[in-house]
Amino acid sequence: MSLTDLIYAGSNAVAGLTEGAVNDAIEKYGEGHAVGYPDTAYFLPIIYAATGVKIKTLGDLPAAVGILKSLITNKEDLGDALNAGLATAVGAEIIEAIRYLDGDPYVNDAGIGFVADPIIRSLGVPLVTGDIPGIAVLLGESADPAALAAIVKDYQEKGLLTFMVGNIIEQALEAGVKMGLDYRVIPLGHEVTSVIHVVSVAIRAALIFGGIEPGKLAEFLTYTKERVPAFVNTFGELNEVIVSVGAGAIALGFPVIADVPVPEVPGALMTQADHAKTVEFSLEAREIKIKVTKIDVPVSVASAFEGERVRKDTMFAEFGGNKTECWELVTSGDPAEMEDHKITLIGPDIDDASFADADVVRLPLGIVVTVGGKAMQKDFETVLERRIHYFTNYIDGAMHVGQRNIAWIRLTKEAFEKGFRLKHIGEVLYAKMRSDFEKVVDKCEITIYTKAEDVKRLGEEMVKPIYAERDARMNALTDASVDEFYTCLLCQSFAPSHVCVVTPERLGLCGAVSWLDAKATKELDPLGPNQPIVKGEAVDERLGIWNSVNEVVNAASQGAVERVTLYSILEDPMTSCGCFECICGIMPEANGVIIVNREFSESSPVGMTFGELASMTGGGVQTPGFMGHGRFLIGSKKFMSAEGGLSRIVWMPKELKDDVAERLNKAVFEMTGIENFADMVCDETIATDSEAVLEFLETKNHPALAMDPIM
Ligand code: SF4
Ligand code: NI
Ligand code: NI
């Protein structure tokens, strides 16, 4: 059979299955029965993107099947055949949606099935920063499980996000691959149709970040080809359904690399039978470049391990976490007096004889990273210090929580058994500081203290005064006190017209870029994503309008956005790219706003979930009344200050409220004299329906009720 014949055979088979499944479902549940995926604002996302049609009930499906069939021309033409691959994608999306009619079909599967919107949004920042350099989709059953496992681990160590479909999931699990979202290896499911859940991720990236209008299929295909760095590896023999799925991937711009002979299409469909070469070959095919830093430690160190948790049963050693004192500090030294790569441990290590009988090794810990370099500035110390959290988490077998003197670190038994010791934390920090900050760090020394008296004394005498000095400096740093703001254009790789304007009192909406971060990045990468905006005179102080800001935003968005205000949610608000930590929206009847964070999956008092609220904005478009923002903005005196500021907040999920309460209370008190404002803010444990929320606000005499009408 020719390649096109194979594709058509698969597409026609899937079309038949889809039609059958739709008819059966309608017969069983009736046309009016709802159909859809959990926690998405985009209906059946592929059909919605391709046609603009919002499938809501089973009765909507037969028309979609009609469209699907029309995509299969059966003509001997490769372009037509690739379209038939898209028909297979549509069919798989329908079949999988029908599987969800009786509840989550993946509860007893190693796979996770459909990927919810908030997860996709959370991937925005690591993808734009290159922290996740690419997306691998692995499919099938391998004749050589050990080789398969080696491939997955290699992708993992390179930071890629890997999706798995088919029996390779068990094969990799049995070979010891660590799996789950926290490890960037995501099992989707066993049925070949579950591959659609990764296609759905790529398509929703275009909807969420790209702001592409549903119905413009060609624009979606261009977006995925140019901006979603994905590719496919298949394992084992290919049947015609897999080939037609592959055709769909190729239509999206994702090369397919098989490990068995296939009719090759250069750049699109290729064979690489040697598993030792699969990774390199695939990365080259998709032009993914990886920067590796070799670090001399006995465990893997990769961004893919950032999310791993170390639980009590796998824990070997623990530092901090209210059990012992634990702090960390980056400070600058005089390069002339420093010895590069000097790593010193003062005090017992985790293999000390005194721990021979201990269940868990608990030690106080103080980490001092001293950096020196001509371009190093005092202000960058906090920027580098915050990276300790990430760098330590990159260690396979280490968990790092918190920062400064509330740091908390755990190490696993597995890491200990592989020979990991405290000096290796020093090795990792040294290597990452040198490679990630090479422009400012010429020399780096690490000293690790584990004697209780040292950790206590240095903590009091050296560390606390430095923190206090920094806090004082940070508090004095306001939008009014600086001459320059910064742009952040990082997210333009996904949201081409989005520009964040980062100021001391308004961090980037992803929460990852503060004004100081932006300033440091400008130093590290002079032509990079963060450029200064020389602020000049304000046109309007209250709304936060500067001509300089408008000019820069206009130019950087290629004219898509002409004007932004920095302090208003209603008048020319800043755009959102899609990866914001929180979304703020107006609740008119309460004369205030609600805020929902990405981690909160339930509905809010305005009747929408985070995902639904988030879908109202994004893609670099201005949407008055909705604003994506970072957690830290809740506590800034500039938070929508044009509309009355922080005291407009009437509802937040409890976890978020607790997280921000201290700063929020302090700022509101300084602005209005109201004490313990957070207690006046409603949350889901109190009420989520509008009337009950209002009642609560009245009993608390919430200030928003007495303010000018918000709209
Ligand atoms: Fe994206 Fe804005 Fe964060 Fe930069 S600051 S990474 S543009 S969300
Ligand atoms: Ni880790
Ligand atoms: Ni973004």
- The Å distance, Cα 556 to ligand 1 centre, comes to 13
CA distance 208 to 217: 15
Distance from residue 49's CA to the centre of ligand 3 (Å): 20
Residue 619 has pLDDT above 90, yes or no: no
| pLDDT on residue 412 | 98
Distance 398 CA to ligand 2 centre (A): 4
The residue whose CB lies within 8 Å of the most ligand 1 atoms, and thus the one to mutate among 132, 486, 488, 525, is 488
Best mutation site among 494, 498, 577 for ligand 1, i.e. most ligand atoms within 8 A of its Cβ? Answer: 577
Number of the ligand closest to the Cα of 395? 2
How many CB atoms lie under 10 A from the CB of residue 571? Answer: 17
pLDDT digits over 77-110, tens only? 999 999 999 999 999 999 999 999 999 999 999 9
Task: Give the number of whichever ligand sits closest to the CA of residue 530.
Answer: 1
Return the amino acid letter for 262. Answer: V
Instruction: Give 474's pLDDT tier (boundaries 50, 70, 90).
Output: confident
**Does 4 score more than 90 pLDDT?**
yes
Of the ligands numbered here, which is closest to the C-alpha atom of 410? Answer: 2
CA distance 597 to 451: 40
Band the pLDDT of 164: cuts 50, 70, 90. very high
Q: Which residue has the least CA distance to atom 3 on ligand 1?
A: 510
Nearest CA to ligand 1 atom 8: 510
Q: Tell me if 146 sits within 8 A of 154, measured CB to CB.
A: no
Quick check: 442 and 372 in contact, CB under 8 A? yes
Gap between the Cα atoms of 564 and 546, Å rounded: 9
Atom of ligand 1 nearest to the CA of 507: 5
Pocket-testing residue among 497, 509, 533, ligand 1, by greatest number of atoms within 8 A of Cβ:
509
pLDDT tens across 114-129, in order?
Answer: 999 999 999 999 999 8
* pLDDT (average), residues 218-223: 97
Distance 513 CA to ligand 1 centre (A): 7
Confidence of residue 524 (pLDDT cuts 50, 70, 90): confident
395 CA distance to ligand 2 middle (Å): 4
- Residue 58: φ, ψ to 5°: -60, -30
Cα→Cα distances 156→8, 82, 223, Å = 35, 30, 25
Ligand 1 site residues, Cβ closer than 6 angstroms:
125, 128, 488, 490-491, 500, 502, 508-510, 512-513, 577, 579
Under 8 Å between Cβ of 229 and 134: yes
Ligand 1 centroid to residue 614 C-alpha, Å: 16
581 neighbors 589 (Cβ within 8 angstroms): no
Listed in order, strand segments (DSSP E) in 6-76 are: none
CA-nearest of 321, 349, 364, 622 to 499 is 622
Q: Is the pLDDT reported for residue 473 higher than 90?
A: no
Q: β-strand 443-449 against 342-346: which pairing, if any?
A: parallel
Task: Give which of 120, 116, 113 is closest to 135, Cα–Cα.
Answer: 120
At position 498, the amino acid (one-letter code) is H
Mean pLDDT of 629-640: 96
Using the mean position of ligand 3's atoms as its centre, give its distance from the Cα of residue 124 in Å: 6
Res 292 pLDDT > 90: no
Of 197, 220, 224, nearest to 119 by C-alpha is 197
Atom of ligand 1 nearest to the CA of 500: 2
Q: Which ligand is in closest contact with the Cα of 629?
A: 1
Give the integer Cα–Cα distance in Å for 551 and 535.
Answer: 11
At 605, is the pLDDT very low, low, confident or very high (cuts 50, 70, 90)?
A: very high
Give me ligand 2 centre to Cα 394, in Å.
Answer: 5
Percentage, residues of the chain above pLDDT 70: 100
Q: Whose CA is nearest to atom 4 of ligand 1?
A: 488
Average confidence (pLDDT) over 164-182: 96
- DSSP assignment of 373-430 equals -TT--TTHHHHHHHHHHHHHHTBTTEEEES-GGG-EEEEEHHHHHTT--HHHHHHHHH
Which ligand sits nearest to residue 495's alpha carbon?
3
Q: From ligand 2's centre to the CA of 576, what distance in Å? A: 30
How many Cα atoms are found within 13 Å in the side-chain-facing hemisphere of 488? 29
The region that residue 43 occupies, defined by phi over 0 for left and psi between -120 and 50 for alpha, beta otherwise, is left
The CATH 3.40.50.2030 portion of the chain extends over 3-285
- DSSP, collapsed to helix, strand or coil, labels residue 444 as strand
Closest-CA residue to 455 (of 347, 331, 333): 347
Nearest atom (ligand 1) to Cα of 129: 6
CATH 3.40.1470.10 in the chain: give the residue spans: 484-706
Which atom of ligand 1 approaches the CA of 518 most closely?
Answer: 5
Q: Cβ(495)–Cβ(577) under 8 Å?
A: yes
Query: Starting at the edge strand that comes first in sequence, how are the strands of the sheet with 256-258 ordered?
Result: 185-189, 161-165, 135-140, 230-235, 256-258, 269-271
Q: Which tokens belong to 600?
A: 């909160």
Cβ contact 157:181 at 8 Å: no
Q: What is the pLDDT of residue 222?
A: 97
CATH code, residues 3-285: 3.40.50.2030
Would you say residue 475 has pLDDT above 90?
no
Find out whether 220 and 203 touch, Cβ atoms under 8 Å.
Answer: yes
Q: Of the ligands numbered here, which is closest to the C-alpha atom of 499? A: 1
pLDDT in tens, 654-709: 999 999 999 999 999 999 999 999 999 999 999 999 999 999 999 999 999 999 99
CA of 579 to the centre of ligand 3 (A): 4
ipTM of the assembly? 0.92
Q: Which of 347, 610, 334, 329 is nearest to 462 (CA)?
A: 329
Question: Above 90 in pLDDT, residue 584?
Answer: yes
Two structure tokens written together for 341: 């790569």
357 — alpha (psi -120 to 50), left (phi > 0) or beta? alpha
Phi-psi region of 102 (alpha: psi -120 to 50; beta: other; left: phi over 0): alpha
Q: Is the pLDDT of residue 254 over 90?
A: yes
pLDDT in tens, 359-408: 999 999 999 999 999 999 998 999 999 999 999 999 999 999 999 999 99
Can you tell me the distance from the alpha carbon of 381 to that of 40, in angstroms, rounded to the nearest whole number? 40
Give residue 620's pLDDT band: very low, low, confident or very high (50, 70, 90): confident
| Cα-to-chain-centroid distance, residue 326 | 28
pLDDT of 341 higher than 90? yes
Residue spans in the chain of domains classed CATH 3.30.1650.10: 303-461
Q: Can you tell me the distance from the alpha carbon of 341 to that of 628, in angstroms, rounded to the nearest whole number?
A: 42
Mean pLDDT of the chain: 96
Q: Rounded to the nearest whole angstrom, what is the distance from the C-alpha of residue 520 to the centroid of ligand 3?
A: 19
Mean pLDDT value across residues 546-553: 98
Whether CATH 3.40.1470.10 fits 484-706: yes
Of 148, 183, 227, which Cα lies nearest the Cα of 496? 227
What are the residue ranges of helices labelled H in 492-600? 515-524, 547-556
Alpha-carbon span 415 to 484, nearest angstrom: 45
Residue 504: partners with Cβ closer than 8 Å, 6 or more residues away? 477, 478, 479, 481, 482, 515
- Predicted confidence at residue 667, as pLDDT, reads 97
Mean of the pLDDT values across residues 188-216?
A: 96
| Model confidence pLDDT, tens digit, residues 122-150 | 999 999 988 999 999 999 999 999 999 99
pLDDT above 90 coverage of the chain, percent: 95
Query: Are 128 and 102 in contact, with CB atoms under 8 Å apart?
Result: no
| Rounded to 5°, angle at Cα 223 from 222 and 225 | 65
Query: What is the secondary structure of 128-161 as a DSSP string?
Result: HHTSS--EEEEEE--S-HHHHHHHHHHHHHTT-E
- Write down the architecture of domain 303-461 according to CATH: 2-Layer Sandwich (3.30)
Residue 587: pLDDT band by 50, 70, 90 thresholds?
A: very high
Query: For the residues 267-294, what does the mean pLDDT come to?
Result: 95
490: how many CB neighbours lie within 10 A of its CB? 26
What's the CA gap between 176 and 414, in Å, rounded?
13
Alpha helices in 209-286 (DSSP H): 217-227, 240-251, 275-285
Mutate to test the pocket of ligand 1, among 131, 513, 566 (most ligand atoms within 8 A of CB): 513
Pocket test for ligand 1, best of 128, 486, 506 (most atoms within 8 A of CB): 128
Å from CA of 422 to ligand 2 middle: 14
Nearest residue (CA) to ligand 1, atom 5: 508
What is the rounded CA–CA span in Å between residue 31 and residue 23?
10
Which atom of ligand 1 is nearest the CA belonging to 489? Answer: 7
Q: Tell me: pLDDT of 711 over 90.
A: no
Q: Which two tokens stand for residue 230?
A: 């994905």
